[in-house]
C-alpha cells in the first residue's frame, strides 16, 4: 500500500499565511512543516518560484525546514502539461483566461500536469466554477481525472489539530 502524497497549490501557503497566521496558529505551521519535511506534502518548483517572485515571507519559513527541496517537473510532466493545456483549450474559456492559465509565471497548469504525471493529490483552496473568465484547478482536475481536494479536507485527512 502506497501512502498518499499531496501537491500543494501556491494558495495553500498564501491564504494560510493571511488567514491562519503563524503567531496565532503555530500548530498549523508545525504540522504543515512536518508534512513537507516527511515528503507527504510536496512543494513544487513552480510554487516556490511564485512565492519568490512575490517576495513572500514564507520563502524564509520554507528555507528553514529540514531537507525540503522544491520538486522539479518530472520526466512525464511536459507531456501532461500539453494535455492539460489542450483540455483547457477545448473548453469554453475566454482567451484571456487561457493565457493566464498557461502563463509561464503561473503554477496552475504545471501543478495539474505534475499531479497527473506523479500520481499526487493536488491540494488547493480554489473552488470549482462555471465561469469562463478563469480556468480553475478543481475544474481541470475534474475534467482530467486528477485527484484534487480542498485545503480543509487536506487538514482533516492529515489529522491537523491546533
CB atoms within 10 A of CB 6: 20
Note the pLDDT of residue 104: 84
Q: Is the dihedral of CA 152, 144, 50, 59 positive or negative?
A: positive
pLDDT tens for the 162 residues of the chain, in order? 568 999 999 999 999 999 999 999 999 999 999 999 999 999 999 999 999 988 878 999 999 999 999 999 988 999 999 999 999 999 999 999 999 999 988 999 999 999 999 999 999 999 999 999 999 999 999 999 999 999 999 999 999 987
- Nine cell digits for residue 160: 491537523
**In 75-84, which positions are buried (b, 16+ CB within 10 angstroms) versus exposed (e)?**
eebeebbeeb
Note the pLDDT of residue 74: 87
Q: Which of 41, 53, 49 is nearest to 158 (CA)?
A: 41
The answer to whether the pTM exceeds 0.85 is yes
Complete DSSP assignment for 86-107: HHHHHTT--HHHHHHHH-TT--
Note the pLDDT of residue 57: 85
Amino acid at each position: 500500500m502506497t501512502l498518499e502524497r499531496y501537491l500543494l497549490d501556491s494558495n495553500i501557503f498564501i491564504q494560510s499565511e493571511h488567514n491562519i497566521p503563524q503567531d496565532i496558529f503555530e500548530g498549523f505551521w508545525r504540522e504543515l512543516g512536518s508534512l513537507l519535511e516527511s515528503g507527504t506534502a510536496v512543494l513544487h518548483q513552480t510554487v516556490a518560484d511564485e512565492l519568490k517572485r512575490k517576495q513572500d515571507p514564507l520563502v524564509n519559513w520554507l528555507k528553514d525546514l529540514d531537507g525540503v527541496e522544491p520538486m522539479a517537473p518530472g520526466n512525464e510532466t511536459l507531456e501532461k502539461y500539453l494535455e492539460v493545456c489542450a483540455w483547457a483549450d477545448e473548453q469554453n474559456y475566454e482567451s484571456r483566461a487561457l493565457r493566464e492559465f498557461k502563463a509561464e509565471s503561473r503554477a496552475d497548469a504545471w501543478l495539474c500536469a505534475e499531479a497527473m504525471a506523479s500520481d499526487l493529490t493536488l491540494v488547493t483552496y480554489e473552488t470549482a466554477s462555471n465561469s469562463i473568465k478563469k480556468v480553475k484547478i478543481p475544474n481541470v482536475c475534474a475534467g482530467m481525472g486528477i485527484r484534487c481536494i480542498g485545503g480543509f479536507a487536506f487538514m482533516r485527512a492529515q489529522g491537523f489539530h491546533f
